[in-house]
Structure 1
Amino acid sequence: MTITIRTALGPDVVAIDALLRTSFPRADEADLVRRLCIDGDMVLVLVAVDEEAGDLAGMVAFSRMQADAGGKEIAAVALAPVAVAAAYRRQGVAEALIHAGIERLEAERVVLCFVLGEPGFYERFGFHADYARNFTSPYAGEQLMALPVQGGLMPCGVRGEARHASAFARLAAE
């Protein structure tokens, strides 16, 4: 098996939607990705492709956020969702996608990446609730974590608000 990580392309849309609909108990994540794309809030979507089988093994999405530190807006994104096809789970596909995404975000000068998820999984990438703790957010708590992307440097100053793209609020309201 040879897995290649690359930026998602137009022809991947149907496979990504199918992956999200089969990876989660409800269609919420597929609907979220679609809405983020329609709203223009998607920053980066990476896919993992099994080159030998031609299968989509996984995907990860990063969307625009608004965050500020000390009254100054900082470049921030949200990681959500990440999905791996059943046949490729527990083989490092999600980890490879997340690492590749973080590398690209660093190159694009993103300062913080937020995620809402299981600390035991995301802390291995450097995400931690302490980084997100002083940002106000409707998702505040131990499962809202952040990762300082630029060499681990946390922005100076008083933390402010961290707002996900409006598609997240619409999803939560449904």
Structure 2
Amino acid sequence: MRIRTENQADYAQVHQVNFAAFGNREDEAKLVERIRETSYFVPELSIVAEEDGVIIGHILLSKADVVDGEQHYEVLALAPVAVDPNHQKQGVGKQLIHEALQRGKELGYAIVLLIGHPTYYPKFGFQPARSYGLELKQFEVSDDVFMVCELQENALKRIKGELIYPSAFFG
């Protein structure tokens, strides 16, 4: 298996992976397509897992904002991560998440936020975000699924406020 940056030639396969991974529904696949068309898209953070020339997994980190009064922080949001159902539970998602977090750190981002499974994402350093002074009001979610991962040491001591997802998330 090879982990690499997505390119335009991958778009149809990435769509199919997201469609299949989320129970044959288009929500996540369409989300990826909408994000690609915005200034919040970071091409280096759209990453695929490829096996024998076929895309079997995809992860996308895109820019979002944390707002605290007049303070604005550019952060990353993880959504979605998808693995073809025939390749799930084989470590593909794990490798994609590790690669995405490493690239986010290398690009200088301080934190990554997500809405996700409360027992899966802590393995990668994600913790409940509200306990760090971060809030989410655009979606109603419980504390245990709204999570943050620190990419830069002590970033969570200085970044506080409300996560604002870009309009692409509301297609």
Per the normalisation by structure 1, the TM-score is: 0.86
Q: Which range moved further: 64-73 or 142-151? A: 64-73
Q: What is aligned with 1:123?
A: 122
Q: What is aligned with 1:113?
A: 112
Q: Secondary structure at the match of 1:15?
A: helix
**Alpha-carbon distance between aligned partners in 2 of 1:148 and 1:97, rounded to the nearest angstrom:** 17
Q: How does 1:131-150 map to 2 (within 5 A)?
A: 133-138=132-137, 139=139, 141-150=143-152
Deviations 1:89-129 (A, max 9, x none): 11110000000000100000100100101010000000010
Q: How does 1:33-112 map to 2 (within 5 A)?
A: 33-43=32-42, 44-50=45-51, 53-68=52-67, 71-112=70-111
Q: What is aligned with 1:22?
A: 20
**Alpha-carbon distance between aligned partners in 1 of 2:100 and 2:41, rounded to the nearest angstrom:** 13
Instruction: Choose the corresponding residue for 1:9, options 7, 10, 16.
Output: 7
Deviations 1:22-50 (A, max 9, x none): 11132100111111111232222000001
Q: Secondary structure at the match of 2:134?
A: coil
Q: Structure 2: which 5+ runs fail to align?
A: none
Letter in 2 for 1:17: H
Aligned-residue offset at 1:136: 2.3
Q: Secondary structure at the match of 2:155?
A: coil
Count matched residues.
165
Letter in 1 for 2:14: I
Letter in 2 for 1:61: L
Letter in 1 for 2:124: F
1:75–1:166: structure 2 CA closer, same or farther, 3 Å change rule?
A: same
Aligned-residue offset at 1:133: 4.9
Aligned-residue offset at 1:63: 1.1
Letter in 1 for 2:136: S
Deviations 1:144-171 (A, max 9, x none): 10001114x2343472121111112x24
Aligned-residue offset at 1:68: 4.1
Aligned-residue offset at 1:130: 4.3
**Alpha-carbon distance between aligned partners in 2 of 1:96 and 1:108, rounded to the nearest angstrom:** 18
Instruction: Quote the sequence identity (%).
Output: 28
Contact 2:112–2:148 (8 Å) recurs in 1:
yes
Q: What is aligned with 1:161?
A: 162
Per the normalisation by structure 2, the TM-score is: 0.88
1:164–1:36: structure 2 CA closer, same or farther, 3 Å change rule?
A: same
Q: Structure 1: which 5+ runs fail to align?
A: none
Q: Secondary structure at the match of 2:108?
A: coil
1:92–1:161: structure 2 CA closer, same or farther, 3 Å change rule?
A: same
RMSD: 1.9
Contact 1:69–1:156 (8 Å) recurs in 2:
no
Letter in 1 for 2:164: R
